[in-house]
Structure 1
Amino acid sequence: MNAQQAPQGGDGTIGKAVAVLDLVAGFRRPVRFSELRAQSDYPKATLYRLVQTLTSQGLLTHDSERQTYAPGLRLMRLAHAAWQQASLAPVARPHLDRLAAEICETVHLAQLDAGQVLYVDKRVPEQPVEMFSQAGKVGPAHCTGVGKAMLAHLDAPALDKAVALQSFYRFTPHTITDAAGLRAELAEIRAQGFAFDREEHEPGIICIAVPILTGRGRLLGALSVTSVTARKSLADLETLAPALREAAARIARDTEAWRFPDPGAAREGEKDV
């Protein structure tokens, strides 16, 4: 998310404070108050009060010499706790290691966040390729393999909401740029069980992705293998679909046993008591 895309909070003071944190993070560098003011819809006094409160709570840090603000150490601690407790990364780590060693290509693990792709882990081969994705980065869902794999397995209300959040920005000549085109491809993805990125986000970068689903079909995330057109074709990547599916299934099994029990299963268990 860039500074211009930072959302404005609609949930009282907490929503406003979160919006300011998003705004600061969106600059991806220490930022002056005047820059925040230029990008925020809040009155100057309101914005200043929010920034000061966040700073006093350790969620922002202030460099008095440069007069800039940046995410604080407390926020980093919270982010680390979220990564350990809410992301797939810890339980998926051995499966990513195994898959990456087998195929010698870049492997991504992602989850869906507010209709966008959150990359939570990544493995790179001995000869890595420079690309956008990094653990912790947020990317578009409408033009990435992991994004489309996840969107394709949302229920109807969640999909409607996620599609409405897409920018449909044209990154390359291959990018899907409208909801109708995206929905048509998502139907194909549901039928075949995997998604492609056909140089839709970055020129020369292609991938195959599969969803990570619970036994009841609940979406947990997505797994992908990414390469470059100079080294692989989409047909080459399609041969990796069985290995991807198996890795995704192992991650799902371990994840459910670890921290993600299915609420439906719990309710059924309660009925049996």
Structure 2
Amino acid sequence: MGAEGNSDGTVGKALDVLDRVAQAGRPVRFTELLADAAYPKATLYRFLQTLTNQGMLAYDPDRQSYSLGVRLVRLAHAAWAQSSLAPIARPYIDILSADVGETIHLAQLDVGQVLYVDKRNAARPVEMFSQAGKVGPAYCTGVGKAMLAYQTADALDRALDRQSFHRFTDHTLTSRAALLAELEVIRGRGFAFDAEEHEPGIICVAVPILNRAGRAMGALSVTSTTARASLMALAALAPRIQQTAAQIAAEAESWRFPEQQQA
């Protein structure tokens, strides 16, 4: 288990444990968690007990396994309503989806990675990695690069430190330098591409959802396949997607900072 949250003390370590249970995608036993834990057995057990007592984890005594607790469902629902762009963006991406007939993704950055917060399938759906609630890499996805291009220098540096630069396809950018060069191009034209960089045959055009300071709150993309579209065809949709992104941004800022609208 990584020690990523250790610098945040006890709370950070407990959240590391919670993340590990979540990443398993199924109930896990104590021995499984202990196998790659960064903490002593007694410490790991104490964290699990605390998280269970607080309803963040659930313990099954028959199977002797831990799974995510119901309290997280309540917290997730509150976070979705308060922090996610999805509730605000829903009517706008419904219209965009009907207009373009391709897959629409709405995403936000989560600790340097892409969190897909909403999705509309194409008229002819295509199997692909992305699903609402799923986390993906930022350096090789259209939405990820669109958001990275509009971060502050410090935020971008932290995000780049978290990229694996794993080669998923022959088109994947595999170095920090290559990505930085691509981000410069994205800032110049105002939108990003995924040119089969994460999945073979999957392409997209993505635009950032920018606040008044010009920083990315999220990103919006139209995704298709090389079998039925080209990057040039998707690029032609960029102004339409930017229009939708601007509508979402205006709605989000009015919701988050209503006092500015009354001045």
TM-score (norm 2): 0.96
Alignment: residue pair count:
262
Contact 1:6 1:26 (C-alpha < 8 Å) held by counterparts: no
2:63 corresponds to which of 55, 63, 66:
66
* Equivalent position SS for 1:129: coil
2:25 corresponds to which of 12, 23, 28:
28
Q: Distance in 1 between matches of 2:28 and 2:258?
A: 41
* Equivalent position SS for 2:49: helix
* Equivalent position SS for 1:227: strand
Structure 1 residue 229 corresponds to structure 2 residue 202: no
Q: Residue deviations 1:83-110, cap 9 Å, x none?
A: 1101101100001101001001100000
Other-structure match for 1:116: 113
RMSD across aligned positions (CA): 1.6
Deviation larger for 104-113 or 210-219 = 210-219
**Deviation at 1:125?**
1.9
2:167 corresponds to which of 167, 170, 174:
170
TM-score (norm 1): 0.92
Other-structure match for 1:130: 127
Ranges in structure 2 where 5+ consecutive residues have no aligned partner:
none
Contact 1:9 1:17 (C-alpha < 8 Å) held by counterparts: no
AA aligned opposite 1:217: G
**Deviation at 1:8?**
4.2
Mapping for residues 1-273 of structure 1, pairs under 5 Å:
7-260=4-257
* Equivalent position SS for 2:66: strand
Percent identical pairs in the alignment equals 64
Ranges in structure 1 where 5+ consecutive residues have no aligned partner:
none
**Deviation at 1:219?**
1.8
- List 4+ stretches of structure 1 deviating above 6 A: none
Contact 1:115 1:162 (C-alpha < 8 Å) held by counterparts: yes
**Deviation at 1:56?**
1.1
* Equivalent position SS for 1:212: strand
CA spacing shift, 1:5–1:173, aligned 2, 3 Å: farther
Q: Distance in 1 between matches of 2:246 and 2:172?
A: 29
CA spacing shift, 1:62–1:114, aligned 2, 3 Å: same
Q: Distance in 2 between matches of 1:168 and 1:261?
A: 40
